[in-house]
Amino acid sequence: MSLSVALIGATGYTGLEVARLLTHHPHAELAIATARAEAGNPIASVHPSLAGRLDLELEELDPVRIGKRCDVAMCCLPHAASAETVKQLVDVGVRVIDFSADFRLSSLSVYESWYGVKHPWPERVGKTVYGLPEFFAEEIAGADVVANPGCYPTSAILPLAPLIRQGLIRGDDIIIDSKSGVSGAGRSAKVGTLYCETNESIAAYSVGCHRHQPEIEDLVGRIAGPEIEVLFTPHLTPMSRGILSTIYVRPSEGLAAESAGGSSDAAVDRVMQCWRDCYADSPFVTPVDHLPATAHVAGTNYVQMSVRRSGERLVLLSAIDNLSKGASGAAVQNMNVMFGYDQQSGLG
Amino acid sequence: MSLSVALIGATGYTGLEVARLLTHHPHAELAIATARAEAGNPIASVHPSLAGRLDLELEELDPVRIGKRCDVAMCCLPHAASAETVKQLVDVGVRVIDFSADFRLSSLSVYESWYGVKHPWPERVGKTVYGLPEFFAEEIAGADVVANPGCYPTSAILPLAPLIRQGLIRGDDIIIDSKSGVSGAGRSAKVGTLYCETNESIAAYSVGCHRHQPEIEDLVGRIAGPEIEVLFTPHLTPMSRGILSTIYVRPSEGLAAESAGGSSDAAVDRVMQCWRDCYADSPFVTPVDHLPATAHVAGTNYVQMSVRRSGERLVLLSAIDNLSKGASGAAVQNMNVMFGYDQQSGLG
Amino acid sequence: MSLSVALIGATGYTGLEVARLLTHHPHAELAIATARAEAGNPIASVHPSLAGRLDLELEELDPVRIGKRCDVAMCCLPHAASAETVKQLVDVGVRVIDFSADFRLSSLSVYESWYGVKHPWPERVGKTVYGLPEFFAEEIAGADVVANPGCYPTSAILPLAPLIRQGLIRGDDIIIDSKSGVSGAGRSAKVGTLYCETNESIAAYSVGCHRHQPEIEDLVGRIAGPEIEVLFTPHLTPMSRGILSTIYVRPSEGLAAESAGGSSDAAVDRVMQCWRDCYADSPFVTPVDHLPATAHVAGTNYVQMSVRRSGERLVLLSAIDNLSKGASGAAVQNMNVMFGYDQQSGLG
Amino acid sequence: MSLSVALIGATGYTGLEVARLLTHHPHAELAIATARAEAGNPIASVHPSLAGRLDLELEELDPVRIGKRCDVAMCCLPHAASAETVKQLVDVGVRVIDFSADFRLSSLSVYESWYGVKHPWPERVGKTVYGLPEFFAEEIAGADVVANPGCYPTSAILPLAPLIRQGLIRGDDIIIDSKSGVSGAGRSAKVGTLYCETNESIAAYSVGCHRHQPEIEDLVGRIAGPEIEVLFTPHLTPMSRGILSTIYVRPSEGLAAESAGGSSDAAVDRVMQCWRDCYADSPFVTPVDHLPATAHVAGTNYVQMSVRRSGERLVLLSAIDNLSKGASGAAVQNMNVMFGYDQQSGLG
């Protein structure tokens, strides 16, 4: 009686993470895994860590067959290609969690200008729930398609949105300096992500032009109300997994006035309290006093976040595992919500 | 006829780097290396990479003996302890390059409040040249004591100072987000810098309270004129060597006005031109078009720096090797200037 | 109705791994965690990854209190200290899984000569089951004390013992070249395991004199019959977790004769078949055709092992996670066997 | 008056290492660097670490132009392609140091069977000097073509050859277990050497079938006399640079008899003395008492080697930097010998 899951595009790191998580899931089972080039081979031939743990043959993508056998599909295809497949799957009655950016943004024109493609299913843009159960659990529960969040956006939206919504910080002076492990760049063969290129090296990339910037702005706006603007700088960091976001914000006039009269930590306390209130029912979001490190959440679906004051600014820090809460763990969490299971099922 | 050099406190990473660099130096030779606990042992017993390359016995610190045998001392002791030794060495006529923070700051009270100690030689505070030959070569050439710069300050001052001096950026809205390799934390046995604590993990530390913050503010002020204020956040990064500083600044009104009329890259071009002019005679400072990575400067005394525009802000990026240009390479460069050699001698 | 577990010596990496595994275990719960220096602090203060996941205060070791509250103790203390505590716990009726080497060897004199101490509970030496459920499940089920295996021995005994037992390889020409991640060296502050000492470096240590050598010889003998002799060389490898053992053996005369007549892979096939037969009911031991990598088993309790032929020798390769199957995962597996649960409970 | 050097195939890691070393060389200068796909671009565009340090445009390979401008060429092309180019360069009077395996082996048939290609210049096979100046300096000095050694062979031949030549060890029972950093796999885009595939993982590859096995056997035979046979197992290790070889050998009857009567370290002493005698005039080969680590020789042309006794066997350990002494540093050392400079020029 467990859920039957299809994994579309199983050869990458997010695909492996989905497969791994499902081998432990009490209510779901991986029934179909697709991969174009490797169809016909056992999944362990592309992911040797699954040898002896998951006996499944990779197959070609066949929406009809998936429609017959599966309740839900996790779609790990590149943008645009993904939207096409999502549409086919929805047409055959499969609910879909889409890892691509195709249904994350509210605006078709923003999507098409940042991603440089025509959207294959424009009608659904702006009408698909964003898969952050901390804010959208109710819509996720009823959705046929869930847009699984980007990894950087997850690390930024979770600390920012409650503070903006409560009017504690300004929306026009936000700098997000994010550091990601290399798995965020995917598993295709590129010189830039070879071991010897990234080991012992940290560098920024896509400064001021990364596609996750509009996603962060869009979602914080949707959750919290006012429009915000962020400066977002991602960095490639010599580790496999993890994202640390260091976020520089200014207290709102209200918070500044309020905390001016009190102890030096008043603003910090207000931020912590706001987070605790907002995430009281969110099992994975953990405000902490210590400064979070990516290792503290590695391999888990947890988010650790903390705050410090420095001069007139507040420094927010959040750590996630980019492949788990930043991708595949979030997808399983979304699946749990969609099918009425405890959010933590299979994610313990 | 070559310089005879003493290395005080030879067992750490900066000590090893000094020893390595001097084995290649055409005009200088390591004559004495001191280490309290290991005195009597060959230097290769604490630094096995020197086996067969440097045959020298570690000895106790004896200023008189150093005074008789050496022209210059590199002092790698902890703060306060260092100032005491520096005074003894100066008294016996040895010129000193001091790796500690004891003589870097202009103000005794700032020093004593940030470092929490009485200064052992307060008369020299504010009267010692800061060892950044890019700005202070002339004073370094005549100095008896040179305060070797901090690693983070080097990575921040070099991109910032020329822009502040030329009035291109504002001094009151500067955020420095720095990422350092683990060697910056030194070689003493601490749980926090064990392999398994830092590997696969990035985290901020000392947010808003790191001692290099006043050093950056002090020095940019000394070089460039107006007082500035910075928000400085260091991060421990899973790599042995290197510092990347991502610096968020705002164009001054002048630059904003000027570049508003021109092409979108006008502000970027002005920054690059300012750096090229300022560092035309500085062989190690390299403005580059690409985004610098710490690996690009690993093991060298070079600084790569670059700039991007994002919204109303400019993002400055600089990469150094924290043990070379951030410490021991800078010391050799200072020694070269003090004794009239080419800045690049032994640093090729 | 779940098991109540005490964790003795909770501050190291094996302690953290036990705590993590038990947060997922369906039938067991961590009730008491002890740590001398940190008693009174929350466990998350020494293991920040447990923040928000395990709310437990560290306490002093009190066997009587443990006797009242717990069914089983996992003892992560240094050798000799461990045996004393194990005795106290057994005296109050607690069953113990001991991570130290105190009860692994058959011979008191071998123990005392390799470990250089008087054994605190000599009567139990040679009378305690070795915690390898693949061979000793029945005795483990009834044991009051289980000697949890060493990490290197696990990686060597599992591939070797069935082949010796079946007479497929010679026992007098075995070379084990093992490569371990740094976590095997523990979490105490030592210069040798600082990030910058071990990163980008591999080296052998304790060549010909590592304490796991007699453990391997003793156990293979106990399992397989004849006495064997091994040459064992461990290497410190720049990674946090994992052990790869590359084991060079010679076919027995019987196997050599038999495979001489057949295909070139006959000896390889016989080895694979022997492993498959021996481990048919062992859920964690996975003979594989590919060459195992430590990453394939990272974070799991699995063992991957493979074989190749080269000239007259066979090369056996085995990969485990040193903290899981090499320590804490094995302990949970033993606990499962001791209390009648499925071996895989909590280890999925 | 300095040497003019051509670098053929400049885009890989060995090419970068050659370029870096030559920027420091007192008697040689890089005049031409070729790269097919990137011709026309500055070399810093493929190697950003050279920005501001080497101003050279990549060009197409043109042997005639190289013949006019250069004294010597370093050829970093794949096997077979390399031999063709080497022939063209020799025809126009350029001396060549060839990084490929094309001229390393004595036997054409061995080459063709292990490399699976027809050799483009079979006449030169068996008539080209092997570029190990520790043994062949005189022939290298007069050679038009030098076969630069393989990285693993260098790490194995240097410890083995003197011991075989002196009859101290047996030639029929040699196991070489080598661990290499990832740069040995080159800079082309392959999934297997992506950061996330090799980080936190060690694995063997090409067990019993690596092409460096016949090279080791051939060269030890050429240097030392009798034919030997080795079992060679390379491992991919999570680090950028370095090779550690752990070599298991048996003392000859002579050495066994001799050392049986003496102290327990007699065999070890004889090995150390043999190495010291053999390498007395070899500035880069350093027998050491400690166990060598790859970090001890990283970025240098040094070889550290050591020996331990374990039971009836001796364990030899050697550490090199695979890109320096294992490739580009050796090439510069060969160039120095070919043109009459000190072996250490530019390699200090």
A245–C contact, CB cutoff 8 A: no
The pLDDT of residue C262: 62
Mean pLDDT value of segment C119-146: 98
- Nearest CA to CA, how far is B318 from chain D (Å)? 13
Determine whether the interchain pair B231/A177 forms a contact, defined as Cβ–Cβ distance below 8 Å.
no
A305, D151, D179, D231, D293 from D234: Cα distances, Å = 43, 11, 6, 10, 17
The CA distance from B192 to B198, in Å, is 7
Query: Residue range D77-91: average pLDDT?
Result: 97
Residues of chain C contacting B237 with CB distance shorter than 8 Å: none
Confidence band (pLDDT; 50, 70, 90) for D265? Answer: confident
CB contact under 8 Å between A295 and C49, yes or no, is: yes
B196 touches chain C (CB under 8 A): yes
Rounded to a whole number, what is the distance in Å from the CA of B240 to chain C's nearest CA? 5
Q: Where are the domains of chain B?
A: 3-127, 152-323
Cβ–Cβ of C194/B187 closer than 8 Å?
yes
From the list D70, D75, D151, D274, the catalytic residue is D151
Mean pLDDT of C114-127: 97
Q: Look at D264 and B311; give whichever has higher pLDDT.
A: B311
pLDDT for residue A1 is more than 70: no
Touching check for C53 and chain A: CB below 8 Å?
yes
Q: Would the CB atoms of C294 and D200 count as touching at under 8 Å?
A: yes
Chain segment D167-226, per-residue pLDDT in tens: 999 999 999 999 999 999 999 999 999 999 999 999 999 999 999 999 999 999 999 988
CB contact under 8 Å between C187 and B191, yes or no, is yes
pLDDT at A331 over 90: yes
CA–CA separation, A321 and A296 (whole Å): 9
**D41 in contact with B at a CB cutoff of 8 Å?**
no
Chain B hits for D241, CB-CB cut-off 8 Å, are: none
- pLDDT category at D264 given cuts 50, 70, 90 is low
CA pair distance D41, D55, nearest whole angstrom: 11
pLDDT of A144 reads 98
- Residue A161 to residues A132, A146, A255, A307, D137, Cα–Cα distance (Å): 12, 20, 16, 14, 70
Does C1 score more than 80 pLDDT? no
Helix or strand (DSSP H, E) at D259: helix D253-261
Q: Out of 3.40.50.720, 3.40.50.620, 1.10.1040.50, 3.30.9.30, which CATH number does the structure's domain C3-127 have? A: 3.40.50.720
Domain spanning C152-323 has what CATH number? 3.30.360.10
CB atoms within 10 A of CB A71: 18
A37 touches chain D (CB under 8 A): no
What is the mean pLDDT of each successive set of 10 residues along chain B, which is 348 residues long?
94 98 96 97 98 97 98 97 98 98 98 97 97 98 98 98 97 98 97 98 97 97 93 98 98 90 82 98 98 98 97 96 98 98 94
Question: CB distance from D323 to chain A under 8 Å?
Answer: no
Give how far C185 is from chain B: nearest CA, Å: 10
Nearest chain C residue to D296 by CA: give it: C201
Give contacts of C239 with chain D, Cβ < 8 Å.
199-202, 238
Predicted confidence (pLDDT) per residue in C234-243, tens digit? 999 999 999 9
Residues of A with Cβ-Cβ distance to D294 under 8 angstroms: none
Contact at CB, D190 and A189, closer than 8 angstroms: yes
Contacts of B208 in chain A (CB under 8 A): 308-311, 315
Shortest CA distance from C290: residue in chain A: A48
Q: Rg of chain A's alpha carbons, rounded to an integer? A: 20
> What whole-number distance in Å separates Cα of residue C229 and Cα of residue D257?
22
Residue pointed to by tokens 């277990």 = D177
- Cα dihedral sign, C188-C189-C191-C194: positive
List C-alpha distances in Å: C175 to C228, C285, C288.
11, 22, 21
Instruction: Please determine, for residue A197, whether its predicted confidence score (pLDDT) is greater than 90.
Output: yes
**D312 has pLDDT over 70:** yes
Given D204, D233, D246, which is nearest C233 (Cβ)? D246
> Span A308-330, mean pLDDT?
97
Among A261-275, C225-239, C323-337, D230-244, the minimum mean pLDDT is found in A261-275
Residue B181 near residue B241, CB atoms below 8 Å? yes
- How far apart are the C-alpha atoms of A119 and A112, rounded to whole Å? 7
Distance in Å, alpha carbon of B219 to nearest chain C alpha carbon:
30
Closest chain C C-alpha to A319 CA, distance in angstroms: 11
- Residue C146, beta-bridge partner list: C97, C129
Which residues of B fall within a CB distance of 8 Å from D293? Answer: 48
For residue D199, which residues of chain A lie inside 8 Å, CB to CB? 182, 195, 199, 239-240
Nearest to D137 by CA among D318, D281, D288: D281
Q: What angle do CA C262, C268, C271 make, to 5 degrees?
A: 115
Tokens in use for C40?
Answer: 């009174």
**Closest in A187, A197, A238 to D191, CB measured:** A187
pTM attached to this predicted model: 0.97
Candidate from D175, D204, D315 with C-beta closest to C208: D315
User: Position of tokens 């289980």?
Assistant: C146
Element (H, E) at C22: helix C13-24
The chain B residue lying nearest C186, using CA atoms, is B196
CB contact under 8 A, B296 and D200: no
Residue of D nearest to A48 (CA): D197
CA distances from A319 to A159, A267, C15 (A): 10, 21, 23
Active site residue C151: yes
Residue A258 confidence (pLDDT) above 90: no
- Give the mean pLDDT of chain C: 96
Q: Does C310 touch chain D (CB under 8 A)?
A: yes
Report chain A residues whose CB lies below 8 A from the CB of D187. Answer: 191, 194, 196
Nearest CA of chain B to the CA of D152: how many Å? 20
Cβ <8 Å between D195 and A197 = yes
Q: Touching C: which chains, 3+ CB pairs < 8 A?
A: A, B, D
- Residue D1 pLDDT class (50, 70, 90 cuts): low
CA distance D86 to chain C (A): 34
pLDDT at B261 (0 to 100)? 65
Subunit contact B49:D295, Cβ cutoff 8 A: yes
Please pick, among B75, B76, B151, B274, the residue that the annotation labels catalytic. B151
Q: Which residue has the tokens 């009859």?
A: D167
Catalytic residue among C70, C75, C76, C151: C151
The top-level CATH class assigned to D152-322 is alpha beta
Q: Among D300, D330, D303, which residue's Cα sits nearest to residue D317?
A: D303
Q: Choose among C205, C208, C246: nearest Cβ to D233.
A: C246
Minimum-distance CB partner of B189 among C13, C182, C191? C191
Q: Per-residue pLDDT tens for C49-101?
A: 999 999 999 999 999 999 999 999 999 999 999 999 999 999 999 999 999 99
**DSSP state, residue A206:** S
Per-residue confidence (pLDDT) for residue C264, from 0 to 100: 66
Distance CA D283, CA D276 (A): 11
Task: Determine the 3-state secondary structure of A51 from DSSP.
Answer: coil
Rounded distance between C-alpha atoms, residue D23 and residue D49, angstroms = 12
* Residue in C52, C300, C302 nearest the CB of A302: C52
pLDDT score of B262: 62
| pLDDT above 90 for C348 | no
Percent of chain A with pLDDT over 90: 96
* Rounded mean pLDDT, A157-161: 98
The amino acid present at B322, given as its one-letter code, is N
Tens digit of each residue's pLDDT (9 = 90 or more) over C260-277: 766 668 999 999 999 999
For C134, residues 6+ apart whose C-beta sits below 8 A from its C-beta are: C158, C278, C279, C282, C284, C285
Residue B224 is predicted with a pLDDT of: 94
Residue D209 contacts A, CB cutoff 8 Å? no
Distances (CA, A) of C310 to C230, C258, D154, D208: 19, 17, 21, 5
Nearest to D327 by CA among D8, D15, D9: D15
Contact of A299 with chain C, judged by CB distance below 8 Å, is answered with: yes
The reported pLDDT for the residue numbered D64 is 97
The pLDDT of residue A262: 62
- φ/ψ bin of B125: left (φ > 0), alpha (ψ from -120 to 50), beta (otherwise): beta
